[in-house]
Structure 1
Amino acid sequence: MKRVIHSLIIGSCLALVAGCSTTSKPNTFTFTADLPTDFAYVATVTYVPAPGQTCTLGKRDNLKPQFNRKWRTEYKPDAEIEIRRTRNGCELVLYRVELNIYAKYAKATTDFGTDFGQIAVRHELDERDKGTFNSAGESEFYGQCQWLFRTIGPNRYITKILDCKDTDAQGNVTKGRPFAAYTLDQLPGKTVKLKIKLADEERPAIGDTWVKVPGGWKRCMGDNFEDQYAFCYGNYKDFSTFKMPDGRSCSIYPGCTENKEVTP
């Protein structure tokens, strides 16, 4: 009897020690973004069956979680994203985080632009392709967004298009949209941050429609106000007014100041 009790005590102690020494990795990582004023992001998360799984799931059984879907009213910069999950007995792993970048340029609900970025997650990546983390468990990737302006409608209202490019840490524009890639085993408990800079200057969305002048840009008239394209075609004397998003009628964008000197 003493031997049995002794064995039970030893077994309990070993189990207690093992329980204290065993640590499991977190099943989430934090995505966050450092964005300019009036910017927000919506993150859409995609999962796929883990390697070796033969299961298939319909869309209803493998819904894509979204963060900041109501970005206008309930925006939060931090998103806690699951790395592995199970649905209907099917083991799933994180595959992609699609990032829609939104930015408002005026007060109306339609006065916004959008572009995108992405985080790819794989089991294996070439060392040169995967992101790195510092000693604090943080990784950053970068982008630059620029406003492209144009006019629409017979009153030539200003509207803007958001154009976002990938950059390196020094702000040099590289190829494609903001992008980062990691392996599954890199992410548990870590933080990934997207840092976006807004370009200092805006530029026309369509070439040969505006002329650069001191203080801004003048809109070429084209044939008349009904001419929606209104290319300059070498005519740097005939210009039109246009409407700002707030309704002001202007002749020079963005300053709305008169200046007769034109430099093609």
Structure 2
Amino acid sequence: MTRVLRGTCLGCCMAIAAGCADKQSDTFTFKGDLPPGFAYEAAVYYVPAPGETCTVEKKDNKAPVFKSKDKPVAEILIRRTRSGCPLVVSRIELEISSVYGPHWLDSSRDTANVVIRDELEEQYKGTFSEAGESVFHGQCQWLFRTSGKPRVLRKILDCKKTDLKGDVGIGRPFSAYTLDQLPGKTVRMRIKLADEERPAIGDTWVKVPNGWKRCMGDNFEDQYAFCYGNYKDFSGFQMPDGKQCAIYPGCTE
């Protein structure tokens, strides 16, 4: 009897251990490193597993959105079943945001993406370190402009992918993986903020030694107010907090 019980317990323990291993290998971890004052929201989408012919409604192919302020480190399921349909993770859509003024409208956002496929050409696959971590990089930059007759300063967040050297590329921060790369691994998005801001629209501001000055254009009614070679007539503008300024970012010369 003792031998039977020992064998049974051993079998149970092995089954439990295998179950835990299977569960662990069916997830991967996502982390985001962002500049101070930045946040992100992430939406995880699923598609029918390779070889499956079933379909699911849109409400079933998306996991609950998670936010960096609530969940800076998220464990993401690679496989799940909804309405009897086996699904696999397909992509993570990320929305990066930050604020630049005191009002709720004084904010801007841009996007980043992680794509997961059953197969990918080697040149497109993200790579993992020996510790099981893959890092993709990006840079966000503030672009400034003026809006309305009082010429209120507004900012637009512009995020681009970068390489390991920090050189800015074309397109949003992005990485791609195959399903078999992800079990038990960590994917990290690392975003930095550009050292300098720049005008959102060309030929509307003039660079001066201590900042940027806004070209007047025809008058304050001129919403575009391109310089058109006139680099002597400038206008004031209003900061988001209502302060009147003559130069950006220092406000006064």
1:37 aligns with 2:36: yes
Deviates more, 1:184-193 or 1:142-151: 184-193
1:92 aligns with 2:87: yes
Cα-to-partner distance string for 1:60-95 (whole Å, 9 max, x where unaligned): 333442111xx6xx4432222111110010000000
Per the alignment, do residues 18 and 81 of structure 1 end up closer, same or farther by CA in structure 2, a change over 3 Å counting? closer
Larger Rg: 1
Per the alignment, do residues 239 and 15 of structure 1 end up closer, same or farther by CA in structure 2, a change over 3 Å counting? same
Cα-to-partner distance string for 1:201-247 (whole Å, 9 max, x where unaligned): 10000011001111001101111111100011111111100001111
Question: In 2, distance between residues paired with 1:211 and 1:10?
Answer: 82
Residue pair 1:28, 1:188 contacting (<8 A) in 2 also: yes
1:233 aligns with 2:231: no
The unaligned stretches of length 5 or more in structure 1 are 259-264
Residue pair 1:215, 1:257 contacting (<8 A) in 2 also: no
Out of 203, 208, 211, the position equivalent to 2:203 is: 208
Corresponding letter in the other structure for 2:11? A
Question: In 1, distance between residues paired with 2:73 and 2:2?
Answer: 52
Residue pair 1:25, 1:188 contacting (<8 A) in 2 also: no
1:19 aligns with 2:15: yes
Residue pair 2:43, 2:62 contacting (<8 A) in 1 also: no
Name the residue aligned to 1:261.
none
Corresponding letter in the other structure for 2:46? Y
Residue pair 1:118, 1:179 contacting (<8 A) in 2 also: yes
1:143-162 counterparts in 2 under 5 A? 143-162=138-157
Question: In 1, distance between residues paired with 2:180 and 2:205?
Answer: 51
1:107-256 counterparts in 2 under 5 A? 107-256=102-251
The CA deviation at 1:135 is 2.1
Deviates more, 1:82-91 or 1:19-28: 19-28
Question: In 2, distance between residues paired with 1:7 and 1:226?
Answer: 93
Deviates more, 1:43-52 or 1:125-134: 125-134
Residue pair 2:96, 2:110 contacting (<8 A) in 1 also: yes
Cα-to-partner distance string for 1:48-69 (whole Å, 9 max, x where unaligned): 000121111112333442111x
Deviates more, 1:169-178 or 1:242-251: 169-178
Cα-to-partner distance string for 1:9-31 (whole Å, 9 max, x where unaligned): 79747735753773425222111
Question: In 1, distance between residues paired with 2:3 and 2:251?
Answer: 88
Question: In 1, distance between residues paired with 2:70 and 2:221?
Answer: 40
Name the count of aligned residue pairs: 250
Per the alignment, do residues 87 and 21 of structure 1 end up closer, same or farther by CA in structure 2, a change over 3 Å counting? closer
The CA deviation at 1:144 is 0.6
Question: In 2, distance between residues paired with 1:256 and 1:10?
Answer: 79
The CA deviation at 1:132 is 1.5
Question: In 2, distance between residues paired with 1:241 and 1:149?
Answer: 14
Residue pair 1:148, 1:204 contacting (<8 A) in 2 also: yes
Question: TM-score, normalization: structure 2?
Answer: 0.91
Residue pair 1:25, 1:189 contacting (<8 A) in 2 also: no
What secondary structure sits across from 1:160 in the alignment? Answer: strand
Corresponding letter in the other structure for 2:15? G
Deviates more, 1:155-164 or 1:56-65: 56-65
Question: TM-score, normalization: structure 1?
Answer: 0.88
Per the alignment, do residues 24 and 154 of structure 1 end up closer, same or farther by CA in structure 2, a change over 3 Å counting? same
